Amino acid sequence: MKAPLKIGIAGLGTVGGGTVRLLQERSAALALNAGRAIKIAAVSARKKKAKRAVAVGKYRWVADPLKLATDPGIDVVVELIGGAEGVARKLCEKAIANRKHVITANKALIAHHGTALARAAEKAGVSLRYEAAVAGGIPIIKSLREGLAANGIRRVYGILNGTCNYILSAMTDQGREFSDVLKECQKLGYAEADPSLDVDGIDTAHKLAILASVAFGCEINFGAVHVEGIRHVSLMDMTFARELGYRIKLLGIASVSKRGLEQRVHPCMVPESSPIAHVGGSFNAVVAEGDFVDTIVQEGRGSGAGPTASAVVADLLDIARGSQVPTFTVPATKLKKIKPVPMARHYGAYYVRLMVVDRPGVFADVAAALRDHSVSMESVLQRTRDPGEPVPVVMTLHETEEASMVRALRKIAATEAVVEPPRMIRIESL
C-alpha cells in the first residue's frame, strides 16, 4: 500500500468537525477504497480549547492556519474556514504556490476567485477540489465534470439553498407567513441571526455561478448572475400558485444559447407535475439537461455536518487515488468567456398579482398597459372582498421579454386604483 495521504484541516466548525469524525469512523474503509490511508497530520481553528462535537486533541495543533500551506508534513490543505477573502483565500493561494492540493467547501471563495485559483493550481500541477461547495452531499460537480462529460449541457438548475426551501415548503404546506417560518428556522439553527445570504438569494447565486462554469466550460462570472430573494413572496401568492397548478421555489437557473449565458436566481412558479416541485423541507435538488443524456435529477441534503463532510472526503479519495481532472471540466486556460444575457432580455411567462380598488374601468386600464407594451394575457383570477377593501387580481401572462413586462408593470403601478406595488413571479416550464 502507498504511503498515507497527509492532510491539514483549517476550520473545525460544523463541516470541519464532521470531516474529522468521518475520517475517524471510516478510516479502514477509506484506506481500502483509496489504496492508501488518509491521515490527519494537523488541524487549525480560531480557538484551541473550544467545545467541539469531535475530539481533536490527538492531532498536531497549528495556531496559524497559513502555516499549513508550508508544512512539509502535509500533502493536502482542507480549507473549511469560509469567506471569499481574508485567511481562507490567502491559505488556498499559499498552499497552491507551495504545490499542495487544496480542498474547500467555500462557495463564496470559488464563486469570486475560482478561475484564478484553478489556473494557479493547474500550473502548479496540483488539484483544486470543491465538491462540498455546491449542494452538500449531492455529487453534482463530479456528475457534471466526469459522469456527463460526453454531453453538451444546455441547462442546469435547481434548489440550492435548504433554508429557503424549508421556508417556502412550510408556507405552502402549513399556510404560514414568511416572517413566522423564518423565526422558526433561526431557532432551529437552519438560518443565521442575519439570514441575508440565504433569503436574499446570494448563497444560491454563489453556487449557480460555479455550476455554470462546470456545466459550460466557461470562466466564472458571479457578477453577471441576476439575484432576487424570497422576502416578497406572500402566503397569498402561495395560495394562488396552488390554485393555478404551481408551487413556488427559489431556483438558480443557468442556460446557454446563441444569445449567450443566462444566470438567474429568483422565486419561480414551477408546475406541480415537475419533480422539483415536490422537493420539500431543507433538501436540495439539481437538474441537468444534456444533448445525449436528456434530463437527470439529483436530490439530497444540501448542508449539515454529515452531507458536506461526505463531499469533502470524496474529494480526498480522488486525490489519494491520484485522479487528475480539470478543475472546471476543461483546462483552466481553455475556459471560455461567454457573453452574459442581461435579465432584461430574459424571455418567459409571468404571474402578476395586483391589489386594486374594485371600481369600474380598473381592469381596462390594466389591459391597456399590457397591450401598449406587447404583453399578452393568458388568464385572470379575481376575488371579491368587503366593500371598500382592495381586491387581488391575479394574471398569468404569455411569454414575453422581461423588459416589456417591467415597463408594463411600471405603468400599471402608476394607476391610481392600484394600491400596492405589483408582485411578479416568473413561471418556468420545467
Q: What is the CATH number of domain 5-135+323-332?
A: 3.40.50.720
- Residue 1: the pLDDT is 64
Query: Are 369 and 415 in contact, with CB atoms under 8 Å apart?
Result: yes
pLDDT class for 190, splitting at 50, 70, 90? confident
Please report, for the chain, the start and end positions of each structural domain, with discontinuous segments joined by +: 5-135+323-332, 140-301, 346-427
Write out pLDDT tens, residues 205-253.
Answer: 999 999 999 999 999 999 999 999 999 999 999 999 999 999 999 999 9
Phi, psi at 190, each rounded to 5°: -75, -25
Query: Are 11 and 30 in contact, with CB atoms under 8 Å apart?
Result: no
Phi, psi at 130, each rounded to 5°: -155, 30
pLDDT class for 192, splitting at 50, 70, 90? confident
Residue 164, pLDDT above cutoff 80: yes
Residue 386, pLDDT above cutoff 80: no
- Residue 163: the pLDDT is 92
Higher pLDDT, 138 or 384: 138
Tell me what the mean pLDDT of segment 51-60 comes to: 88
- Give the Cα separation of 406 and 176 in Å (integer): 29
Q: Which residues are known to be catalytic?
A: 207
Write out pLDDT tens, residues 304-351.
Answer: 889 999 999 999 999 999 998 999 999 999 999 999 999 999 999 999
Q: Provide the β-strand partners of residue 335.
A: none
- Give the Cα separation of 392 and 383 in Å (integer): 6
Name the one residue in this structure whose C-alpha cell is 494537523.
42
pLDDT class for 370, splitting at 50, 70, 90? very high
As assigned by CATH, the class of the 346-427 domain is alpha beta
Tell me what the mean pLDDT of segment 25-32 comes to: 94
- Give the Cα separation of 333 and 159 in Å (integer): 30
- Give the Cα separation of 216 and 157 in Å (integer): 13
Same fold, 140-301 and 346-427: no
Write out pLDDT tens, residues 63-119.
Answer: 999 999 999 999 999 999 999 999 999 999 999 999 999 999 999 999 999 999 999
- Give the Cα separation of 92 and 114 in Å (integer): 11
Q: Provide the β-strand partners of residue 424.
A: 352
- What's the count of helices (H) and strands (E) in the chain, helices before strands? 13, 16
pTM above 0.75, yes or no: yes
C-alpha cell at 366: 390594466
Strand, helix or coil for residue 259: coil
Residue 52, pLDDT above cutoff 90: no
As assigned by CATH, the class of the 140-301 domain is alpha beta
Residue 255, pLDDT above cutoff 90: yes
- From 402, 300, 306, 407, select the one nearest 15 (Cα to Cα): 306
